[in-house]
């Protein structure tokens, strides 16, 4: 006891230290060694330069918002989200690689150049786009100078100043990219010899006759493969098996929780009850907002905007009709036709948006909007007032919103412009603020219907979900390792599904809904591991087993053996046919004699060009056509292993191309083809020569 009392502090500190180390090591093991291999704050690294998760997430969020705005969508499915993340990753790599390469080359944009790109004689297209006159397409220098004066008066850390700084950085990056592209393009030179060679490859004609032994003449199941066959093919084609990035394969078993008959009956009963209440509802907008799952606004639609099953029913109905319930798209849908009339297809409008928070409240914003409307009605310029009082991006173009169809604007705004008359001025309030609207034009005319839509999707009950989960959990409990996973699946009659060569960022696997959690597990597990949890993906539950890990670099023969089997079979057939052709060639003086010995016909071919190596009736045969253009006329070739079989041919003759009269024009044509590929190929080289570490699987 005396010993413990005297050393209690040391023991406690040691115990705490041991606990912390154990916690960190445990975390590292759970993350597949990520504690040792990489930071939890870095989404990746390019040639030693880290990409922080905070910066990357900010870019993803910005790109997501831009995509939603461009596509007019409020939410994105997992596939689109994955697409945006992939694009953001490629942008991040490109920015780092190009920055390093341009610094190495000494490319830069000086302050004077940047000033000239903003307010000089040849402003950047982005400046013209944002400060141009929409009528003339020319830069509005008064508007630009007014904006620049305003920027000078702003604090450096103000949102407007920061946005302008980012805008200038974009202009600078664009100019640097243009300089780099021009540097590459100006380094391209096509010699006269290259131009003539390209001309000959496209215009020199060859006529030949061939005999071939088709690989398909021997069924694949009659070919017996040896380990030596696999090894020989692997050694000859090892360059084909370079894995650009780590990927993994796994098997999984799905436990479906699709709606049962009882679930379907329960949903149908609820739908019928909702339909009766909907028919009797006095406030349709309120009923839709409370009961509908998709919350479609109660507004006018034109033919073609609704689902096909609803569209024809609505436009064959009259005002006051009730349609449904109709089962379509996985949900029951019912529609009230509130009105039916003829209205414009699209509208051209302008607006001035006031921010109530900046005006001292909604009432003051409305009062100011009424005053602005009065000024416009009295002859004041709408565009000038929009530039002065507007608070959104349209103020830079005089408030012009362009031409838009139904469904492009929020319902209140849409009702105002589609139900008004050309030239009318209106003041309305939406969730964005108070608008002064001018209807510039109404275009087209078609029948439109005002509809209220309520939908109820076919859903699975908790009981059905629990039953499927219980089955999955019971299987997981029995499948402790790879062997028991296979045994239990066979005993229970479950079907194993394969997911092969999955990459870390993959967002879609077969028909699974959002399998990212399963993919992240696969990249933290070891070969043979069974998942330590049941994965939930929509109405499906899954348990998985990792079957293979393919590291970055050249894959081993064992890893590609199954994949290369068809090619190995073809190579064995080719070897057999080559030996047969060599025997047929022995003592033969003509292609007809060879054909007779192998019991195959002679096929004549006319006017083949090197640049298009397709043999009529077969397919592309690069090796055969390449060999024949290097052969002498009248001489039997050696056997050539092609894509479809083994060939022996004789060149009947070549037709020389017409003399190249304009070598300069040909050089320009060849150079144009190279120029189109050059920027992409240059970046590919930079990327291939870089050390890129991708840790996205830890975060997404």
Q: Concatenated DSSP letters for 566-583?
A: HHHHHHHHHHHHHHHHHH
pLDDT for residue 214 is more than 70: yes
Whether 293 and 336 map to the same domain: the answer is: yes
| Predicted confidence (pLDDT) at residue 37 exceeds the cutoff of 50 | no
Residue 30 has pLDDT above 50, yes or no: no
Query: How many percent of the chain have pLDDT more than 90?
Result: 59
Q: Do both 583 and 625 map to the same domain?
A: yes
* 426 and 396 inside one domain: yes
Question: Within this chain, do residues 335 and 355 fall inside the same structural domain, yes or no?
Answer: no
Domains contained in the chain, number: 6
Domain membership of residue 536 (yes or no) is: yes
How far apart are the C-alpha atoms of 665 and 192, rounded to whole Å?
10
Q: Are 329 and 371 within one domain?
A: no
What mean pLDDT do residues 232-245 have?
Answer: 92
Which of helix, strand or coil describes residue 36?
A: helix
Q: What is the pLDDT of residue 220?
A: 94
- The CATH number covering residue 328 comes to 3.10.50
Residues 174, 252 within the same domain: no
Q: Mean pLDDT over residues 171-187, rounded? A: 89
Does residue 664 sit within a domain? Answer: no
Band of pLDDT at residue 405, cut at 50, 70 and 90: confident
For the residues 492-496, what does the mean pLDDT come to? 95
Question: Which tens digits make up the pLDDT trace of 479-490?
Answer: 989 999 999 999
Q: Is residue 280 part of a domain?
A: yes
- CA neighbours within 13 Å on the CB side: how many for 49? 12
Domain stop point among 655, 676, 694: 655
Q: What is the pLDDT of residues 665-696, one digit of tens each?
A: 999 999 998 988 888 888 889 998 999 999 99
Ramachandran sector of residue 74 (left: φ over 0; alpha: ψ -120 to 50; beta: rest): alpha
**pLDDT value of position 511:** 83
CB-based burial, 338-353: b 16+ in 10 Å, e otherwise: bebeebbebbbbbbbb
- Looking at the chain, the whole-number percentage of residues with pLDDT higher than 70 is 94
- Whether 433 maps to a domain, the answer reads yes
Last residue of a domain, one of 551, 583, 598: 551
Q: Domain for residue 370, yes or no?
A: yes
- Shared domain for 273 and 352, answered yes or no, is no
pLDDT at 72: 65
466-478: average pLDDT: 95
- State pLDDT tens for residues 89-108: 999 999 899 889 999 999 99
Q: Is 680 inside any structural domain?
A: no
**414 and 388 in a common domain:** yes
Strand order in the sheet with 497-502: 497-502, 247-256, 540-550, 535-537
Q: Is the pLDDT of residue 263 over 50?
A: yes
Query: Dihedral of CA 340/342/345/350: which sign?
Result: negative
- According to the model, what pLDDT value does residue 582 have? 96
Task: Confirm whether 695 is domain-assigned.
Answer: no
Q: What range defines the domain where residue 120 resides? A: 107-186
**Weakest-pLDDT range from 63-77, 469-483, 547-561:** 63-77
Residues 525 and 563 in one domain: no
- Residue 410, pLDDT score: 86
The C-alpha atoms of residue 128 and residue 149 are separated, in whole angstroms, by 18
pLDDT digits (tens, 9 = 90+) for 637-669: 999 999 999 999 999 999 988 888 888 899 999
Q: What CA–CA distances, in Å, run from 416 to 249, 372, 427, 428, 616?
A: 56, 18, 9, 8, 64
Residue 11 corresponds to which tokens in the numbers above?
């023991």
The predicted model gives 124-149 an average pLDDT of 84
What CATH number does residue 408 fall under? 3.10.50.40
The verdict on 401 and 368 lying in the same domain is yes
CA-CA-CA-CA dihedral for 682, 683, 685, 689, to nearest 10: 140
454 inside domain: no
- pLDDT of 488 reads 94
Q: What end-to-end distance do the CA atoms of the chain give, in Å?
A: 53
Whether the model clears a pTM of 0.85, i.e. scores above it, the answer is no
Tell me the CB-side half-sphere exposure of residue 503, using CA atoms within 13 A. 12
């Amino acid at each position: 006891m005396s010993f413990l009392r005297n050393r209690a502090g040391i023991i406690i500190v040691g115990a705490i230290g041991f606990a912390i180390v154990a916690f960190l090591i445990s975390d590292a093991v759970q993350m597949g060694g990520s504690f040792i291999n990489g930071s939890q704050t870095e989404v990746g690294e390019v040639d030693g330069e880290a990409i922080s998760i905070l910066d990357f997430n900010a870019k993803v969020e910005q790109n997501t918002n831009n995509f939603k705005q461009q596509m007019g969508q409020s939410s994105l499915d997992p596939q689109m989200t994955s697409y945006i993340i992939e694009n953001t990753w490629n942008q991040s790599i490109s920015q780092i690689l190009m920055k390093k390469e341009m610094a190495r080359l000494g490319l830069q944009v000086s302050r004077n150049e940047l000033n000239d790109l903003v307010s000089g004689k040849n402003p950047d297209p982005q400046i013209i786009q944002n400060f141009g006159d929409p009528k003339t397409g020319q830069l509005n220098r008064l508007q630009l100078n007014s904006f620049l004066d305003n920027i000078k008066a702003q604090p450096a850390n103000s949102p407007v100043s920061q946005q302008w700084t980012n805008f200038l950085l974009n202009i600078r990056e664009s100019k640097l990219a243009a300089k780099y592209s021009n540097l590459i393009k100006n380094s391209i030179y096509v010699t006269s010899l290259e131009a003539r060679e390209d001309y000959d490859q496209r215009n020199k004609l060859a006529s030949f006759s061939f005999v071939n032994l088709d690989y398909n003449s021997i069924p694949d199941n009659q070919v017996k493969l040896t380990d030596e066959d696999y090894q020989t093919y692997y050694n000859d084609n090892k360059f084909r098996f370079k894995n650009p990035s780590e990927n993994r394969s796994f098997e999984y078993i799905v436990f479906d929780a699709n709606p049962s008959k009882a679930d379907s009956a329960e949903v149908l009963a609820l739908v019928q009850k909702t339909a009766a209440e909907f028919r009797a509802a006095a406030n349709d907008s309120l009923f839709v907002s409370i009961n509908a799952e998709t919350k479609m606004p109660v507004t006018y639609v034109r033919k073609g905007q609704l689902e096909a099953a609803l569209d024809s029913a609505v436009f064959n109905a009259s005002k006051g009709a009730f349609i449904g319930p109709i089962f379509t798209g996985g949900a029951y849908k019912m529609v009230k036709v509130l009105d039916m009339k003829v209205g414009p297809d699209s509208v051209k409008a302008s607006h001035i948006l006031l921010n109530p928070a900046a005006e001292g409240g909604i009432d003051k914003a409305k009062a100011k909007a009424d005053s602005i409307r009065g000024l416009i009605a009295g002859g004041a310029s709408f565009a000038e007032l929009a530039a002065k009082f507007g608070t959104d991006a349209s103020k830079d173009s005089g408030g012009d919103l362009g031409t838009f169809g139904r469904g492009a604007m929020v319902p209140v705004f849409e009702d105002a412009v589609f139900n008004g008359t050309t030239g009318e001025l209106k003041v309305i309030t939406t969730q964005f603020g108070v608008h002064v609207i001018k209807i510039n034009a109404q275009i087209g005319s078609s029948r439109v219907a005002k509809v209220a839509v309520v939908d109820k999707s076919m859903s699975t009950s908790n009981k059905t979900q629990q039953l499927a989960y219980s089955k999955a959990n019971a299987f997981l409990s029995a499948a402790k390792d790879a062997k028991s996973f296979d045994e239990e699946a066979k005993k229970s009659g479950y079907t194993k599904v394969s997911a092969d060569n999955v990459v870390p960022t993959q967002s879609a696997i077969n028909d699974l809904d959002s399998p990212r959690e399963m993919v992240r597990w696969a990249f933290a597990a070891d070969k043979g591991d069974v998942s330590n949890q049941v994965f939930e993906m929509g109405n499906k539950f899954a348990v998985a087993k990792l079957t293979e890990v393919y590291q970055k670099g050249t894959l081993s023969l064992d890893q590609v053996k199954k994949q290369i089997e068809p090619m190995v079979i073809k190579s064995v057939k080719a070897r057999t046919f080559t030996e047969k052709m060599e025997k047929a060639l022995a003592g033969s003086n003509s292609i007809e004699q060879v054909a007779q010995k192998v019991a195959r016909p002679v096929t004549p071919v006319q006017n083949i060009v090197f640049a298009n190596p397709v043999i009529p009736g077969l397919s592309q045969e690069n090796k055969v056509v390449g060999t024949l253009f290097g052969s002498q006329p009248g001489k039997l070739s050696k056997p050539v292993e092609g894509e479809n079989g083994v060939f022996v041919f004789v060149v009947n003759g070549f037709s020389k191309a017409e003399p190249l009269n304009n070598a300069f024009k040909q050089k320009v044509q060849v150079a144009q083809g190279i120029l189109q590929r050059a920027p992409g190929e240059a970046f590919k080289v930079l990327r291939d020569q870089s050390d890129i570490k991708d840790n996205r699987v830890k975060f997404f």
